[in-house]
A and B are shown apart, each in its own frame.
Chain A
Amino acid sequence: MNNYSRRDFMKWAGAASVFSAMGWPLGALAKMGRSAAKVVVIGGGYGGATCAKYIRKMAPGIEVTLIEQNKRYTTCPFSNTVIGGLKKIEDITHGYDNLRNRHGVNVIHDIAEEVNPAKKVVKLKGGAKLEYDKLIMSPGIEFMWGKIEGYDQAASEVMPHAWKAGPQTTLLRAKIEAMRDGGTVIIAAPANPFRCPPGPYERASLVANYLKKHKPKSKVIVLDRKDKFSKQALFVSGGEALYPGMIEWVSKSAGGTVVRVDTKAMEVENNNGFTYQGDVINVIPPHRAGTIAQRTGLADKSGWCPINQTTFESRKHKDIHIIGDSAIAGKMPKSGYAAASEGKVCAAAVVAELGGLNMPEPSYVNTCYSLVGPEYGISVAAVYRLTKKGITPVKGAGGGSPKVADSTFRNMEAVYAQGWYDSTVADMFR
Chain B
Amino acid sequence: MRRSIVTRFIAPLGILGIMLLPTSVSADELSRASMLSYTCAGCHGTDGISPGSIPSIGCKSADVIEKALKEYRSGKRFSTVMGRHVKGYTDQEIQLIAGFFGTYCNKPTKK
Give A contacts to B, CB under 8 Å.
1-2, 4-6, 8-19, 22, 25, 28-29, 32, 53-54, 58, 337, 340-341, 344-345, 348, 351-352, 355-365, 367, 379, 381-383, 393-394, 396-399, 401, 409, 412-413, 415-416, 418-424, 426-427, 430
Contact = CB atoms under 8 A, between A and B. Distances in A.
Contacts of A28: 20
A16 B51 contact: no
Contacts of A351: 30
Contacts of B43: 367, 416, 419-420, 423-424
Interface in B34-84: 34-36, 38-46, 50-54, 61-63, 66, 80-81, 84
Contacts of A344: 35, 38-39, 41
Describe B's contact surface by its main secondary structure: helix
B107 interface: no
Interface string B89-108: 10001011011101110001
Interface of B: 5, 8-9, 11-13, 16-17, 20-22, 25-36, 38-46, 50-54, 61-63, 66, 80-81, 84-89, 93, 95-96, 98-100, 102-104, 108
A340 B42 contact: yes
A14 B28 contact: yes
Nearest to B86: A397
A344 B35 CA distance: 8
Given A420-B54, A423-B41, A430-B46, A361 B29 contact: yes
Nearest to A26: B20
B21 A25 contact: yes
Nearest to B25: A18
A62 to B, nearest CB: 13
